Amino acid sequence: MRSLPPLNGLRAFEAAARHLSFARAAGELNVTPAAISHQIKALEARLGTPLFRRRNREVLLTDAGQALLPGVRDGFDRLAAAAERVQSREAVGALNVSVLPSLAARWLVPRLARFHARHPDIDLRLSATQNVVDFSREDFDAAIRHGRGTWPGLRCDLLLRDEFFPVCSPSLREGPLPLRTPEDLRHHVLLHDSAREDWRLWLAAAGIGGIDLSRGPSFNDGSLLVQAVVAGQGVAVGRRALVAGELAAGRLVRPFDVVLPVDRAYYLVCPAAAAERPKIAAFRAWLMAEAAEDEG
């Protein structure tokens, strides 16, 4: 266990030694010359030897001051460099991001190659989990969350607006029991999310009644649900972000136009204090661009 001298005294000493003037040192540190005088006096008392010769219109370093200065400078340089390194940690190395598994599988992972092409030095590490990360307890740099963008202490950037609409495979729509109107849903298997609320909400928005909502399997993961729909196992209410890719590829179609808007959305979040770290800023910029392209 090392015994350190008074650190703020050393800072005052270093500035005064550099300027050979208490007044200029005070200017640099945004305090009054009296404060510098106090600090240096205390440091001298602690070290047991004068560090400055006080002449009338100038101060000079004593031998002891001369001896102290290089080491102090050196020490401060290293502290500043270490802090600097951490503060704007170079835009390289690991970037830990927590993502909802459904969005990861359906939206983010397919785009990762593009991110890597753009930022080959950033080693993006995705953790796909339903848990809401606590940045103060877990070592994550950022997360993609679904919600209203009202998380205190976090910087939240809207990525993808959300909306729901029914989707099914083309073969289902054009098959022996075609889907032309919502009433046709009676003849089809309804696939649900784990809350089994999606169909009820959409049917209410569409103004349709008399459909039995108790039928059909449910999936605890949005990605699995989409997979089931693509496989032609039924009709589901899809989240735009999760089905956009399959719609574009023609593996899914929208049998009806009615859309259920929701006030929740996907947000990129990170601790407010860390928002401008280069790696995080780079990831955010890329993500926002991808999302804009996706929605536009």
Among 93, 170, 175, 278, binds its own copies (CB under 8 A): 93
Gap between the Cα atoms of 99 and 105, Å rounded:
10
Q: Which of 20, 34, 58, 81 binds its own copies (CB under 8 A)?
A: 81
Q: Of 33, 50, 216, 232, which lies in the binding site for its own copies, with binding defined by CB under 8 A?
A: 50
For residue 147, list its beta bridge partners.
Answer: 265
Q: How many CB atoms are located within 10 Å of the residue 27 CB?
A: 15
Q: Pick from its own copies, DNA, none: which does 123 bind, CB < 5 to 8 A by kind? A: none
Do you know the residue count of the chain?
296
Q: Which does 10 bind (CB under 5 to 8 A by kind): DNA, its own copies, none?
A: its own copies
Q: Which residues of 97-131 are buried (b: 16+ CB within 10 A; e: fewer)?
A: bbbbbbbbbbbbeebeeebeeebeebebebebeee
Smallest separation (angstroms) from DNA to the CB of 44: 9
* Amino acid symbol at 284: R
Write down the residue that tokens 């006096």 correspond to: 41
77 binds its own copies per the rule CB under 8 A: yes
What is the contact surface with DNA in residues (CB under 7 A)?
Answer: 6, 8-9, 12, 20-24, 26, 29-35, 37-42, 52, 54, 56-59, 136
Look at residues 268, 269, 243 and name the one whose alpha carbon lies nearest to residue 163. Answer: 243
Checking DSSP bridges between strand 93-99 and strand 142-147, what pairing results, if any? parallel
Residue 34's binding partner among DNA, its own copies, none (Cβ under 5 to 8 angstroms by kind) is: DNA
- Residue in the structure block whose two tokens are 């459909």: 211
CB of residue 142 vs its own copies: minimum separation in angstroms? 12
**Binds 195, which of DNA, its own copies, none (CB < 5 to 8 A, cut-off by type)?**
none
Residue 137 binds its own copies, judged by CB under 8 A: yes
Q: Residue 102 in contact with residue 193, Cβ under 8 Å? A: no
Q: Does 70 bind its own copies (CB under 8 A)?
A: yes
Angstrom distances, CA of residue 264 to CA of 46, 160, 203: 60, 9, 19
Among 34, 71, 197, 295, binds its own copies (CB under 8 A): 71
Q: How far apart are CA 279 and CA 285, in angstroms?
A: 10
Q: Which two structure tokens, joined as six digits, stand for 71? A: 């080491």
Contacts of its own copies in 247-276 (CB under 8 A): 271, 273-274, 276
Cα dihedral 237, 238, 240, 244 sign: negative
User: Is 34 or 213 the residue whose CB approaches DNA more closely?
Assistant: 34
Residue 121 binds its own copies (CB under 8 A):
no
Binding residue (CB under 8 A) for its own copies from 277, 284, 287, 291 = 277
By CB under 8 A, name the binding residues for its own copies. 1-5, 7-8, 10-11, 28, 44-45, 47-51, 53-55, 60, 62-64, 67-68, 70-72, 74-83, 85-87, 89, 93-94, 96, 135-139, 271, 273-274, 276-277
